[in-house]
Structure 1
Amino acid sequence: MSVVPSPRGKGARRWAEAGALVGAGAVAAGWEAARRRDLRRIERDPAHALLADVPRGERLDLFSRDGTRLTAELFGPADAPPLVLVHGWTCARRFWTCQLHALADHYRIVTYDLRGHGDSDAPADGDFSTDALAEDLEAVLEAALPSGQRALLAGHSLGAMSIVAWAGRFPREVERRAAGVALLNTGIGDLIDESLIFKLPSGMRRAKAVAGGVFLSASGPLPPASPISLRAVQYVALSPSASPAQVAFCQEMVLQCRRDVRAGFGRTLSRLDLADALSNLTVPALVLGGMRDRLTPPPHLERMAAALPHLSECVELPRSGHMSPIEDPGSVDAALERLAVTAGLVPAAAAA
């Protein structure tokens, strides 16, 4: 026996369907309004014009020991003191835009894309280890610097870990190649345990380790740019006081990073332990961190400062998150220049 819906039942369903459509339309309209508000705030931000003006230098393609092609870029006077800048996880060499604007007139700046990031190739064998990062940095120094020239090496996050890993793998090269090192917003181990991304009670350490491992090594695609992703990037990587253009600049880099590269390095980060290599950095060293950094919070800064053989300065930025070279470029630039003086590298302006 069949049941014939009453006209009243059909009407109720139609009203429900119409209501659902109206609700969906309201959500879409609200989403679009939020997106447009974000765009207006980004465009009005004084930092927007500077971050949008990415300097262009002399491109240099080179190969690491395992055959992975890396892309580097050189800026500034060829006879100026060399400054090598190494970006972090899910970023690219344009991460250093603020430093290039501020320092390229006085330093010979070398930037490069980590393997799998930006214009550099991903490794054919999937090697995203710290040893591979060390060999990449060694290849860049050999290709970009004249023989015997010493540089200031500055790295952010995974870039700083690359410098520490390089010192562990090539200890005899440290004083031959480096006049000083700057370790910015980074750590040498216990990244998940110290992270403030997942705030769980102390008794749930195991659950935090599992959640952190999943977060770092996730290989799924990230959602496209949206009001939600913008706020998610700010929560994870920047402080609440970061400007709209600074957050948007970081969001663009993160979303452009290949998912397999993000996951490959995420697995490396989840089991990172570079404590033994830190003692090989026997040149003047700067450590700098943001007091509102959730990814590598202040305990990492304190631990590195206590362990470095030749600590030059420990800088704490009270309002900065994990992206200090973007969030507080003036303080980072000034700290790098102080380290250059300590390391005996005279800027071109001073030499003149």
Structure 2
Amino acid sequence: MPFMPFNVLGIWFRGLLALALLGGGVYLLTQWYHHREILVTESLPASEDREPVEGGASPAGAEERPTGGEKVRTRVVSWQFGLNRETAFLLGGLALLGWSLGGGWVVSPRLWRRAEPDQPKAETPGDTQRLRLPDGTTLRVESCGPPDGDPVVLTHGWGLDSHEWYYARKELAGRFRVITWDLPGLGASDRPADRDWALEKLARDLDAVLALAGGRPVVLVGHSIGVMITLTYCRLFPEALGNRVRGLVLAHGTYTNPVRTTAKAGLYSALQKPVLEPLCHLMVWLSPLVRVLNWLSYLNGSAHRSTERSSFSGNETRGQLDFLTRYYCQAAPDVLGRGMLAMFRYEATEVLGRIRVPTLVVGGERDNTCRPEASRYMAEAIPGARLRNLGGAKHCGLFEFHGEFHTAVTEFLASEGAFSRPVPRGPEGARPMGPATS
């Protein structure tokens, strides 16, 4: 799932839950191991004759002690399966350990769904190349579709990689030259040499990717942080709008610090300085530990449940759910933490009114990560922008409802978009597009 700064609370909560499940299971099994043999004390009357033992010794594991007129014998008895404390230790420990290492199928019933024929895969159907940046690091860039097709550059969400565009590549590559890239430190792209994940740095990386379009004007498509990078690019390179860039598609994104445009924005804004930012720094410092906890969260199903709630509306397939959830443990936590810290400083409100290229804003009616109001605000502030809300969609509506997203994008590009008309000269107001618009 794409990560936003406020997701750091869930990351640490699920990490502590994973530790509790694993630690609780190990503790109960340790208790069972230490109590699997029980010492039983028996009192024998002093007058009772005992069967002599060869050599005059007591039976193994038994000890006799005189106590007044009685003899006391202790012996070891193995536990018996039944309604007793030892059985509870064993069953409880096995249950917690099983949940910790493989409970996802129980916790997330949507994983029981039948697999669909076209499940997303981390495949590379196009031409892959390494783009070297001035600092010596490289970005993985992939191109597919007709070489002479109109170029479309896709920028994925934070914590994911270019394989997020599995459906978009298949559905757009028949007509357009589709260019996707992995953000620095994600997928197969190198980390920045200076460990800088500021939005301005990522926007300059996007500018370098545009050079691979062969000098032809492109349409920029961004999802989540991809929207932030695109709008930051518009702020840094205003001269490119209408020349190198002929249009924008902004999907499930925001124009300001994402803490301000999410559900419970007031709470998260109050927690940003005292809680969220320190937890992001802690992710960076304790990256190896957080990576282990993220894998445990994936195995115990809590990561799947989080992805269900934040990214999907209930129509996702089993493959789609697991595909996006796997990114939860594949991305390096220190990279995630630094990127989330950079989002706190993001602001692009002022640039919206200066955008003079055709723009399609895509939102989700049930998106609590970037509320529909953020999409509506961008569509109203960008001159001539069109708004398309995907009915019932959450933050990954472009993935879950990829057919509807593809239709909206191709209609925009073909009939009202960047490749079919001149750049608009002035504000026209936001115009709702299609029947699913709010």
1:318 corresponds to which of 391, 396, 400: 391
Find the partner of 1:101 among 166, 170, 184.
170
Tell me if structure 2 keeps the 8 A contact 1:279–1:307: yes
TM-score by length of 1: 0.85
1:25 aligns with 2:94: yes
**1:89 aligned partner:** 158
How far did 1:204 drift? 8.2
Q: Does 2:270 correspond to 1:206?
A: yes
Mark the CA change 1:57 to 1:291 in structure 2 (over 3 Å): closer, same or farther.
same
Any residues of structure 2 matched to 1:323-334 within 5 Å, and which? 323-334=396-407
Give the secondary-structure state (helix, strand or coil) at the position aligned to 2:186. Answer: coil
Asked if 1:135 corresponds to 2:208, the answer is: no
> Counterpart of 2:243 in 1: which secondary structure?
helix
Which residue is equivalent to 1:349?
A: none
Match of 2:255 in 1: 188
- Deviation at 1:189? 1.0
Q: CA deviation at 1:205?
A: 5.2
Larger Rg: 2
Q: AA paired with 1:166?
A: Y
Match of 1:245?
319
Structure 1 residues 318, 215: closer, same or farther in 2, change over 3 A?
Answer: farther
- Work out whether 1:146 is the aligned partner of 2:214: yes
Aligned pair in 2 of structure 1 residues 204, 89: CA closer, same or farther (>3 Å)?
Answer: closer
Rounded to whole Å, the distance in 1 between the matches of 2:122 and 2:155 is 19
Q: Tell me: CA distance 1:146–1:96, structure 2 relative to 1, closer, same or farther (3 Å).
A: same
Give 3-state SS (helix, strand or coil) of 2:119's partner: helix
Q: CA RMSD in A?
A: 3.0
Question: Residues of 2 paired with 1:10 and 1:87: CA distance?
Answer: 67
Task: Give the number of aligned pairs.
Answer: 335
Other structure's SS at 2:398 match: helix
Q: Report the structure, 1 or 2, having the larger helix content.
A: 1
CA change 1:10–1:240 in 2 (3 A) is farther
Asked if residue 45 in structure 1 is aligned to residue 115 in structure 2, the reply is yes
1:223 alignment partner AA: N
Query: Unaligned stretches of 5+ in structure 1?
Result: 347-352
> Is residue 158 of structure 1 aligned with residue 231 of structure 2?
no
Q: Post-superposition shift, 1:309?
A: 2.1
Query: Which residue number in structure 1 is paired with residue 148 of structure 2?
Result: 79
1:242/1:327 contact within 8 Å kept = yes
Distance 1:262 1:30 in 2: 26
Q: Shift in Å at residue 18 of structure 1?
A: 3.8
Counterpart AA for 1:52: K
The answer to whether residue 364 in structure 2 is matched with residue 296 in structure 1 is: no
Deviations 1:199-230 (A, max 9, x none): 48x58852466455456664433421222211
Quote the Cα distance in structure 1 between the aligned partners of 2:418 and 2:341. Answer: 38
SS at match of 1:339: helix
Match of 1:259 among 333, 347, 351: 333
Secondary structure class of the residue paired with 1:122: coil
Change (3 A) 1:321 1:11: farther
The CA deviation at 1:324 is 1.8
Give the letter for the 2:114 counterpart. R
Residue 50 of structure 1 contacts residue 98 of structure 1 at CA under 8 Å; is this kept in 2? no
The alpha-carbon distance between structure 1 residues 145 and 208, as it changes in their structure 2 partners (threshold 3 A), is closer
Give the superposition deviation at 1:120. Answer: 0.6
Structure 2 residue 190 is matched with structure 1 residue 115: no
TM-score (norm 2): 0.69
**Structure 2 CA distance, aligned partners of 1:35 and 1:296?**
27
Report the counterpart of residue 350 of structure 1 in structure 2: none
Pairing of 1:59-74 with structure 2 (within 5 A): 59-74=128-143
Worse-superposed segment, 14-23 or 183-192:
14-23
CA deviation profile, 1:27-59 (whole Å, cap 9, x unmatched): 44566775456699467232x633137342101
Unaligned regions of 5+ residues in structure 2, if any? Answer: 1-37, 42-73, 285-289, 421-438
Seen in structure 2, the aligned counterparts of structure 1 residues 75 and 43 have a Cα distance that, compared at 3 Å, is: farther
The answer (yes or no) to whether the contact 1:80–1:108 under 8 Å persists in 2 is yes
Matched to 1:87, the amino acid is H
1:239·1:319 contact (CA, 8 Å) conserved in 2?
Answer: yes
Q: Larger deviation: 334-343 or 81-90?
A: 334-343
